[in-house]
Amino acid sequence: MPIHHALVLNLHQPAGNLDRLLTDEPWEARAILQAYDRIPRFLWGYEDIGRVHLSLSGTLLENLSDRSFQDRVYGVVDCGSLLWHLQNERIIDILGTGYYHPVFPLIPAADRATHIRRWLSAASHLFWRTGFQGFWPPEMGFSMELIPLLKRSGFRYVIVDSEHVEAVTPMDWHALRYRPHLARYGEDEIIVVVRDRELSDAQESGMDYGWFSKEVALRTRWCDFEPLVTTCTDGENGGWFRNTNTNVNFWGGFYQELLEEARRKSLLQPVFIRDYLDSHPVTTEVRVKSGAWNTGWHHGRDFLQWIGSALQREALQRVEAVSAELHQALIHLGEAEHRAWADAALNEAHWRLLRAETSCNFYWGEDWVHRCHEDLDQAVRALEQYRHHERHENDLPST
């Protein structure tokens, strides 16, 4: 039986980070941009067999589609052409995600749908399509309560980490890891695709095709079904992905041999998850414990990477408070007469709040927590401006 391999790469830059790097560390900015540009260019010669899933955060799409940023980096990468090449559905499948790359279970439930809607709006415009079947939760941060939202947003499946998956239908470990399953929350259900954590660790740090193919064969040898092996990592971090020498980076040092062997009909065959699901009905059920993927410091359980210190937790508590205040104002605005000034103030508060929720503000311990507070400060100022105008309007005599 063939062994199906789904390759998933996460691409994300915090808001303003590429601009800052271009000024302070231009060599790093060039390496990141060239890592993005390398993906479709490498795959052009393998349209018959190359299959790569990409998740691009909204803040990264915002950067790449900004005309002034495009002009600034034109001698390094043609961002307009890059976005055009990423539309090639023969070799690339775009996964949905959250616009500002939040850890969804850690942010207020009232804000989650907006992150998804804003990403869908931007991605539908840039990639000329209306539907995205797969969902990539930023940092692979997932909890079962997200299922109804993902279903309402039109997603068919979500990728989760193998560390957190528990069988409901009795099955062996290889079936648990190498088959898609259903997960249910209340009346809603979604397909979950399981990321192999150990193989993904190898993909992140560097490996050769010979080792990978043998390891995959060993792990799937007891499967009495066609297995789906899913590996997921960042796609622009580390020398393995940034190295411009094709012979020793991820694409030339590993994936090229995988594709050449696949052309020769090896057992290991690249696949889009959507195509695998079309031909392999999902019949088993699992539960997914709340958690994220493993990082360089933590295992992902309990989101310790993002809530491990008092300052991180205090910032998230402030996010909750500002979010509650904003949504109360939005409810009031919906009940009142439309006013342009109110729309402008609350829109400013809203996007500032959403950007404050980005995972990067909490990922680096306490180093970036101040960025969360800076955006929350701006959100609070906009809310104060809204309340000031509202009081002024209410004090005016009726005519």
Could you report the per-residue pLDDT of 113-130, keeping only the tens digit for each? 999 999 999 999 999 988
Could you report the per-residue pLDDT of 85-114, keeping only the tens digit for each? 999 999 999 999 999 999 999 999 999 999
CA distance 75 to 55: 25
Determine contact, residues 288/144, Cβ cutoff 8 Å.
yes
The pTM for the full model equals 0.95
Residue 261 burial class via C-beta count within 10 angstroms: exposed 0-12, middle 13-18, buried 19 and up:
middle
Residue 291's contacts (CB-CB under 8 Å, 6 or more residues apart) are: 141, 142, 161, 163, 164, 300, 301, 302, 303
> Quick one: average pLDDT of 311-340?
87
Could you report the per-residue pLDDT of 329-351, keeping only the tens digit for each? 988 776 555 577 788 899 999 99
How far is CA 232 from each of CA 57, 118, 236, rounded to the nearest angstrom?
Answer: 15, 24, 12
Reported as a pLDDT band with limits 50, 70 and 90, residue 209 is very high
